[in-house]
Each structure stands twice: as C-alpha cells, then as structure tokens.
C-alpha cells in the first residue's frame, strides 16, 4: 500500500502494533498450554 498522507502512515503503524499485541497474547496462551501439557516422565 502506498501511503501519501501522514495519517495513513500513523494508522498503518497503529494497525501493525495492534496485530503484534494480539499475536503476542495468542503466543502467551499457547506457551502456557504447552507448559501445562508437559508432564514429568523420568523413563
């Protein structure tokens, strides 16, 4: 996308940050689930 106006650049940055935050939260939940699923198996 070719942005001409400053508000377009600001909006695209804001959108990317929102997507990164959402992905971070999903990854955090996924890692939590993986940790809970891990069991101690000595043998």
Supply the pLDDT for residue 41.
67
Secondary structure of 18-29 as H, E, C letters? HHHHHHHHHHHH
d(CA 34, CA 17): 25
Q: Could you report how far apart the first and last alpha carbons of the chain are, in Å?
A: 55
Supply the pLDDT for residue 19.
97
Residues 6 or more apart whose Cβ sits within 8 Å of residue 12:
1, 3
pLDDT in tens, 1-43: 566 789 999 999 999 999 999 999 999 999 998 888 887 667 6
Residue 43, CA distances (Å) to 13, 28, 37, 39, 40 in order:
50, 29, 17, 12, 9
């Amino acid at each position: 996308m070719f942005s001409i106006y400053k508000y377009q650049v600001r909006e695209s940055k804001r959108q990317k940050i929102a997507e990164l935050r959402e992905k971070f939260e999903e990854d955090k939940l996924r890692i939590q689930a993986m940790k809970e699923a891990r069991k101690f198996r000595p043998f």
